[in-house]
Amino acid sequence: MSDRWRAVVAALLNPELRAVLAEVSQADLTDNRRERALARLADIGLVSQRADGAWVFDEAFVRSILNENPPVRRTGVDRFLDKDGRIDRYPVQHGDRRELLAWVAGRAFSSGEVLSEAEVNERLEPFAPRGDVAVLRRYLVDHELLERTVSGSEYALASGV
């Protein structure tokens, strides 16, 4: 889900941006329509009426909206996974990439298994970005997390992984 709404709500906290928004959205309202609009804005919580009857923007209410659900800061390998647990991008930093690949290897393979390339591809498919298992398999081999057998036709989890 996009966080664009946060930028819109934050813009409402800036008096200059609110003023320009009011300028560009000028509407010729009847008194009745203006009163209904003010009532709706009050129901929402964007404006409130002071004791002297003047309407004011409720900045505290808007700030509370921004603080309701602060964005969750993802950590570890989760930073590189989409909502389905598939890699959405490979980390640039070597340590992060190795951590992500070790995570994949630990979930896709078990110690002592010897698998054909087709079996490896099948195990890697749920993790591979855009289904590109060849790149993921190559990265696992390059980072010495997956080993090719002497014949080159089979793979096994590297010892110590």
How far is it, in rounded angstroms, from Cα 159 to Cα 161? 6
Any idea which fold 76-157 has? Answer: Arc Repressor Mutant, subunit A (1.10.10)
**Residue 105 neighbours by CB under 8 Å, 6+ apart:** 140, 145, 146, 157, 158, 161
For 48, the token pair is: 């409130």
103 closest CA partner among 122, 125, 77, 81:
77
CATH of domain 4-68: 1.10.10
Listed by start position, the domains of the chain span 4-68, 76-157
pLDDT in tens, the chain (161 residues): 456 777 888 888 898 988 888 888 888 889 999 899 989 999 988 899 999 999 999 999 888 888 877 667 788 999 999 888 899 999 999 999 999 999 999 999 999 999 999 999 999 999 999 889 999 999 999 999 999 988 888 999 998 77
Q: Look at residue 1 in the predicted model and tell me its pLDDT.
A: 46
Written as one letter, the residue type at 73 is: R
Find the largest Cα–Cα distance for the chain.
87
117 closest CA partner among 86, 154, 81:
154
Strands (E), the chain: 47-49, 55-57, 114-116, 146-148, 154-157
How far is it, in rounded angstroms, from Cα 14 to Cα 134? 49
Q: Look at residue 74 in the predicted model and tell me its pLDDT.
A: 82
The owner of tokens 């996009």 is 2
Strand partners, 154: 116
Residue 145: DSSP 8-state: S
